[in-house]
């Protein structure tokens, strides 16, 4: 009986992992590939042969049937041929697009494709951006400066640990991205990473659900509203990763469930972690040692990839924000609302309130981006000189662990510290606090 259940579970997993389901969903959403009939080279996941230490990919042949599905490459091309030749087909109304952003590891620009439904393209592009670096650079500071600093601090802890667990799991399981063809790579930025689980699905689940758990009862709103926002946010991010051709259905489902497991583990301890970061006598030492050691563990799991940089970036940001929280508390700059004032309510939306919030956001983000730019301009050349690497090829230099790890930690720990400590002081000086 147990063997039957295990075999059935494996069968279901194999079915959900089949890339043909991704291709069918993309076709349903109006994404049309421009695949040749025959391909002798693997898809764009292959690394630059001149780049040292990069992982190799083994993709499925483009000529063979894919997975357990019943649609071969020839059938996919035939279906797309019919779609593009119909009077109302995409060629009649749409232009050829290149994938979103080139691959940061290989420099690959990907293959062109056709977009038949612009609304879904922009919707899922927005959804996938909810898991990218620029969103978190905007979201966490806005929450910290304008709404609730306590919630923002604890969300950063969950985000950093969630990414570490997810990216490390990827490099232990080592599954490749869905085969292309039949999948259309609408995005190729992360194509060189491993695929299981989807860390976009993990962060896209952990952040909204943790935000819901931290704010429900602390702020006045209905349970149904908070749950609906969290579910919609998570669903949009998860589905967008299938639309982009970056993950199979199984990988997205696994990322969603895995994130809930990680969140269930950390949620009860967030209050203790936050209090220790602020009040612990040895908290600065513990923060630095824990975040750096986790980064060293992650970087030793496999050769360099964008996942390694993302992990170090999240851990660096978490370390910087935690250190800033400790400094703020010790200097009396931290002003969380007292428990007696809960639940909090949104103040009346006035012109003055909106203008001050916009000014705080614009000035603060400008400071963060300037800090990031300045630190990047200083750190990478310094590390290249320190380790005897040519400074004129930044991409190759950053493929070295000895450059990428300290670069990410130094730059983003400073950004995190500036966000939580320096920028609020600047607001106070400018009478915007």
- pLDDT tens string 102-111: 665 556 666 7
Task: Report the DSSP pairing between strands 113-115 and 96-97.
Answer: antiparallel
Beta bridge partners of 114: 32, 96
Higher-confidence position of 87 and 338:
338
Query: Does the predicted model carry a pTM greater than 0.95?
Result: no
Residue pair 248/256 in contact by the 8 Å Cβ criterion: no
Residue 345, sorted as left (phi over 0), alpha (psi -120 to 50) or beta, turns out to be beta
Higher-confidence position of 384 and 40:
384
Higher-confidence position of 119 and 387:
119
Rounded to the nearest integer, the mean pLDDT of the chain is 79
Residue pair 230/209 in contact by the 8 Å Cβ criterion: yes
The Cα-based distances of 33 to 30, 69, 77, 236, 361 in angstroms read 10, 18, 8, 23, 40
Asked if residue 182 has a cis previous peptide bond (ω within 30° of 0), the answer is yes
Cα–Cα dist 283/289, whole Å: 10
- pLDDT, tens digit, 9 for 90 and up, residues 59-97: 333 343 444 444 444 444 454 444 444 444 444 445 556
Higher-confidence position of 99 and 285:
285
Question: Of the candidates 206, 205, 178, 153, which has an alpha carbon nearest to the alpha carbon of residue 327?
Answer: 153
Residue ranges of E strands in 27-169? 31-33, 96-97, 113-115
Domain boundaries, the chain: 118-430
- pLDDT, tens digit, 9 for 90 and up, residues 39-59: 444 444 444 444 333 333 333
- pLDDT, tens digit, 9 for 90 and up, residues 212-223: 999 998 888 899
| Catalytic machinery residues | 200, 247
């Amino acid at each position: 009986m147990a063997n039957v259940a295990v075999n059935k579970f494996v069968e279901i997993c194999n079915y959900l992992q089949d890339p043909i389901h991704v291709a069918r969903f993309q076709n349903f959403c109006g994404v049309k590939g421009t695949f040749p009939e025959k391909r002798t080279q693997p898809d764009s996941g292959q690394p630059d042969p001149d780049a040292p230490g990069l992982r190799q990919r083994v993709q499925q042949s483009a000529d063979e049937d894919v997975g357990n599905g019943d649609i071969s490459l020839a059938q996919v091309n035939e279906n797309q041929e019919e779609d593009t030749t119909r009077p109302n087909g995409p060629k009649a109304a749409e232009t050829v697009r290149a994938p979103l952003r080139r691959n940061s590891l290989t420099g690959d620009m990907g293959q062109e494709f056709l977009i038949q439904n612009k609304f879904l393209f922009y919707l899922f592009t927005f959804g996938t951006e909810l898991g990218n670096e620029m969103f978190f650079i905007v979201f966490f500071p806005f929450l910290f400066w304008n709404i609730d600093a306590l919630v923002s601090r604890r969300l950063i802890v969950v985000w950093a640990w969630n990414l570490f667990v997810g990216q490390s799991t990827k490099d232990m399981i080592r599954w490749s991205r869905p085969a292309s063809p039949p999948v259309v790579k609408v995005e190729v930025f992360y194509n060189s990473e491993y695929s299981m689980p989807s860390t976009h699905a993990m962060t896209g689940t952990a952040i909204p659900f943790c935000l819901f758990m931290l704010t429900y009862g602390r702020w006045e709103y209905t349970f149904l509203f908070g749950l609906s926002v969290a579910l919609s946010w998570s669903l949009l991010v998860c589905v967008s990763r299938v639309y982009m051709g970056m993950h199979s259905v199984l990988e997205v489902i696994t990322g969603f469930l895995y994130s809930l497991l990680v969140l269930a583990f950390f949620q009860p301890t967030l209050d203790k972690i936050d209090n220790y970061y602020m009040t612990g006598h040895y908290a600065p030492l513990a923060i630095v040692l824990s975040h750096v050691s986790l980064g060293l563990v992650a970087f030793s799991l496999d050769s360099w990839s964008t996942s390694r940089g993302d992990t170090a970036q999240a851990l660096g940001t978490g370390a910087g924000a935690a250190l800033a929280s400790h400094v703020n508390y010790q200097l009396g700059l931290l002003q969380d609302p007292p428990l007696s004032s809960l639940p909090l309510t949104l103040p009346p939306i006035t012109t003055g309130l909106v203008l001050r919030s916009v000014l705080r956001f614009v000035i603060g983000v400008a400071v963060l981006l300037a800090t990031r730019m300045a630190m990047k301009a200083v750190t990478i050349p310094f590390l290249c000189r320190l380790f005897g690497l040519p400074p004129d090829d930044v991409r190759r230099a950053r493929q070295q662990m000895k450059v990428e790890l300290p670069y990410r930690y130094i730059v983003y720990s400073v950004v995190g510290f500036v966000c939580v400590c320096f920028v609020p002081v600047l607001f106070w000086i400018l009478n915007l606090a």
